[in-house]
Amino acid sequence: MEAARRATAQAHPNIAFIKYWGNRDDRLRLPANPSLSMNLGALRTVTTVTFLEEEGPDVLILNGIRVEGPARDRVEGFLNYVRGEAGFRGQAVVESNTDIPAGVGLASSAAAFAALAVAAAAALSLDLSERELSMLARLGSGSACRSVPPGFVEWVAGERHEDSYAYSIAPPEHWALWDVIAIVSEQHKVVSSSEGHRRAATSPLHALRVVTASERVARCREAIQRRDFESLAEIAETDAIWMHAVMMTSRPPLFYWEPATITVLQAVRRWREEGLPVAFTLDAGPNVHVLCPGEVAHEVAQRLGRVPGVRRVLTSGPGGGASRIPGS
Ligand code: DP6
């Protein structure tokens, strides 16, 4: 009897220090600029893909609940690509479990498509390298390509599908850098990242942000290699502000911040002036990621928990890459 076309994989989300915002090609998710991130080991998505013999619409089950609509369609579109590569037509059942709140700027799609890429490729016995899996994950969600390699990861922008991929610049053990996430809202964001990427080029600031991004990536890479928190703090904050400036000046404008977002940003700046090593970054949402060396993470989490408007705090150190779960 033929082996079951089934595999399970896991992946972590990632937080970008230098952001991906805007594509040169929306369909292939070829980004306008390179980016750099760290995987978040404490948060995880585990996905099982089972391909059946018969053809039919794919089934998506997320945390035990069957999902229809655009989220399912996006998964099916992605799996159509994988099926095409494998020369297989059967329907897929995708069961995914995650502890990441969706749609609040915590890169849930990054972990989702990184795990899905690894599981789907394994289920159809496609023997892909880390680089090829990263390229594949990118087609599902741009930032997902950075959740495939382990630790601290750079995404080479590239100009074609074959040269737009992510690779690890340092393993998770390289630096005990923590992300303490201040959750100020758990509401699903109104405008998706995909729509935001399409709007980026309508901002007069976009072109300037893009031409200066490579230099920020180089400085950030160096700061990580040297474990230089002060340099990382300066460059990550600058880059996040740049991205939000582009969002706010797009047409129509995109505002992701809430009043509590500003309260947290100001508190972080004040604490740094007082000598606590902290820096902020934000994705496409109102929640604030506060970066700090591991030894102060507990103190930072306690302080953030006391800031008015902060509902809860999540903490994570660096994490590994996406991988198939053995025996699955
Ligand atoms: C703000 O990767 O979620 O988090 O490719 O449309 O799925 P899609 O977009 P996505 O965009 C992430 C944007 C960001 C910045 C970043 O992670 O680099």
Instruction: Locate the ligand 1 atom nearest the alpha carbon of residue 20 and give its number.
Output: 18
Contact 59, 91 (CB under 8 A): yes
pLDDT of residue 191: 86
SS3 (DSSP) at 312: strand
Instruction: Locate the ligand 1 atom nearest the alpha carbon of residue 282 and give its number.
Output: 1
Share of the chain above pLDDT 90, in %: 92
Nearest CA to ligand 1 atom 4: 283
Amino acid at 42: A
pTM assigned to the model: 0.96
CA angle 114, 106, 71 (to 5 degrees): 60
- Cα 127 to Cα 2, 110, 122, 132, 260: the distances in Å are 18, 21, 7, 9, 47
- Per-residue model confidence as pLDDT tens digits over 307-318: 999 999 999 999
Q: Which two tokens stand for residue 111?
A: 């972990």
Gap from CA of 53 to ligand 1 centroid (Å)? 34
- The per-residue b/e assignment along 163-192, b for 16 or more CB within 10 angstroms, e otherwise, is ebbbebbbebebbebbbbbbbbbeeebeee
Gap from CA of 142 to ligand 1 centroid (Å)? 6
- Per-residue model confidence as pLDDT tens digits over 264-303: 999 999 999 999 999 999 999 999 999 999 999 999 999 9
Which of 12, 20, 136 is the pocket-test mutation for ligand 1 (most atoms within 8 Å of CB)? Answer: 20
Contact 112, 141 (CB under 8 A): yes
* DSSP assignment of 1-64: -PPP-EEEEEE--EEEEE----EEETTTTEESS-EEEEEBTT--EEEEEEE-SS----EEEETT
